[in-house]
Structure 1
Amino acid sequence: MKRIAMALLVAASCNAWADEASYKVVDELLSLTPTARSLEGMRREFDTQMQGMISTTSQGKQAEALTAEQRAVAARFSAQVGKLFDEHLAWDKVKPVARKVYLENFSEAELSELVVFYKTPLGQAMLAKMPTVTESLTRSIRDQLQLLLPKLDRAGQQFQREFGQASASDKTGATDK
């Protein structure tokens, strides 16, 4: 019984050590990637969008044309939403999720190799250019979807017509055999 307990204790400590080593590798990887900076950028963009939304809500009035009470309400709302954003999407909240995602999708060896790669000039170039590449791909896909949507709409209308005709045929007693 003591041997089993000792074996379990050793296995558990090895697992804890492996987890700690994996966390260290993931943390190093995350420090090399722009994930935290991206969240900061999202926050700035969010603040800008909030200001735009407040401007729209104020029916196009310039900030100077708002009453003191309206400005106070807008400031409270902006602060409240910013606080919610920080409570849920601040790096200290997202980092454990990012860790988990990386650990679920990469082995420790793969993570270590990614760290080595991202430290190279090519890895740094990739990290620097990926946001632009991703944005360009997203824009291109969105453009393709805009071309596709009318075709999907026509196909859907054709389906509805044919389906309706098939349903009408069934009601008149015609059957497929």
Structure 2
Amino acid sequence: MKVIKYLICGLICCSANFSFAAPAKPQDVEKLISVMNLNQLIQDTLKQIRPQLDQQAYVIVQSVVKHENLSPQEQVIANQLADKLYTQSQKMLAWDKLKPVYSKIYGDVFSAEEVKAQIDFYSSSVGQSILQKTPLVAQESMKIMNDQLNSVMQTSQQDFEDIAKQLNELKKKAN
């Protein structure tokens, strides 16, 4: 009988931790998204990464033409590619598509208490300052990622050339 009492008491204690994490109300999540000015933050971040898209397009065209410096005509093509990448990014990051996604994520991940704490923080001047600097953080992160991707692309290109040579040698031996 004592074991059952202890078991019930233990279960109540364990479930108490879960009962305090009340889910966030949709209107509170909406307020958080508004206070964070998430739509503008995403658009500012997109503008900040435009130079990286330009660089990425340049590298892609370089890898196709297989030389370092692009001719003026090749640069025009790289610019067109960068414009297409930017337009695709704008479409992917359109607020009407992202808002329901962010609402769901914030509602699923954060408790009511956490959403309230974020609303309080991001409503402060320090919170707003951090939000305004977030696109710069994204831009700097993209620079690092692009450098890494460029390195991977160069290594991969060499790997593909090596594989192509090996395959051609096998083909010659088979003939």
Higher relative contact order (CA 8 A, sep 6+): 2
TM-score range with shorter-chain normalisation?
A: 0.3 to 0.5
> Normalization by structure 2: what TM-score?
0.46
- Of structures 1 and 2, the larger Rg is shown by 1
